[in-house]
Amino acid sequence: MALLRPSSRTRRHGAGADGSRMWAWFMLPGTLWMTGFLIASLVLVAVLAVGTTDELGNPRFGFDLAGVRALTDPAYTEVLARSLGYALLTCLICLLIAYPVAYTIALYGGRYKNALIAAIVVPFFANYLVRMYGWSVVLSDDGPVLRALRAIGLADGDTKILNTGPGVVAGLVYGFVVFMIIPLYAALERLDVSLIEAGRDLYGGPVRTFLFVTLPATRQGAAAGLVLVFLPAMGDFVSAQLMGGPDQIMIGNLIQDKFFQGQNWPLGSALTMLLMLVLLIGMFGYLRRTRKDEAEARR
Partner 1 sequence: MSPAPPTPPSRRALLRAGAGGLLGATAAGCGFMPAARPDAKALAPVRARVDGDLVYFNWADYVDPSVFRGFEKEYGVKVIQSNFDSMEGMVAKLNAGNRYDIVFPTAKWAQRLVRGGRLRRIDHSQLTNSPAVFGTYSYFADPWYDPGSAHTVPFTAYKTGIGWRRDRIGELTGSWKDLWSDKARGKVFLLDDRDEVLGMGALELGLPVSTGDTGELGRITALLSTLRPRLRGFSSDSYNNLLNGNALITQAWSGDMAAMLNQADDPSVFGFQAPKEGTPINSDCYAIPWNAPHPGTAMLFIDYMLRPENVKKNIEYIGYPMPVAGSEKVYADLVEPFPECLVTADDLKADLFFRNGGRAAEDARDSAWTHVKAG
Residue 8 as a binder of partner 1 (CB under 8 A): the answer is no
128 lies in the site for partner 1, by CB under 8 A: no
Dihedral over alpha carbons 48, 53, 58, 61 (to 10 degrees): -40
**Binding partner 1 by CB under 8 A: which of 63, 72, 122, 142?**
142
Compute how many residues bind partner 1; rule: CB under 8 A: 65
43, with CB counted inside 10 A (0-12, 13-18, 19+), is: exposed
Q: Give the C-alpha separation, 284 to 152, whole Å.
A: 50
Site string for partner 1, 28-47 (x = CB under 8 A): x--xx-xxx--xxx-xx--x
CB of 4 to partner 1, least distance (A): 16
Judge whether 45 and 273 are in contact, CB under 8 Å.
yes
Nearer CB in complex with partner 1: 23/112: 23
Q: What stretch of H or E contains 99?
A: helix 74-108
Of the ranges 50-58, 115-123, 172-180, 192-200, which one interacts with partner 1 (CB under 8 A)?
50-58
β-sheet bridge partners, residue 53? 59
285 binds partner 1 (CB under 8 A): no
Q: Which residue, 112 or 260, has its beta carbon nearer to partner 1?
A: 260
Enumerate residues 206-245 that contact partner 1 by CB under 8 A.
241, 244-245
- Half-sphere exposure at residue 99, Cβ-oriented, CA atoms within 13 angstroms: 16
- Residue 43 CB, shortest distance to partner 1, in Å, is 5
User: Of 259, 243, 258, 230, nearest to 76 (Cα)?
Assistant: 258
Cβ neighbours of residue 48 under 8 Å, at least 6 residues apart? 59, 61, 265, 266, 269
- The correct pick among 2, 6, 49, 75 for binding partner 1 (CB under 8 A) is 75
d(CA 20, CA 29): 16
Shortest distance in whole angstroms from residue 229 CB to partner 1: 24
Residues in contact with partner 1 by the rule CB under 8 A: 12-13, 15, 19-20, 23-24, 27-28, 31-32, 34-36, 39-41, 43-44, 47-48, 51-61, 66, 70, 73, 75-76, 78-79, 137, 140-143, 158, 160, 162-163, 241, 244-247, 249, 253-254, 257-264, 267
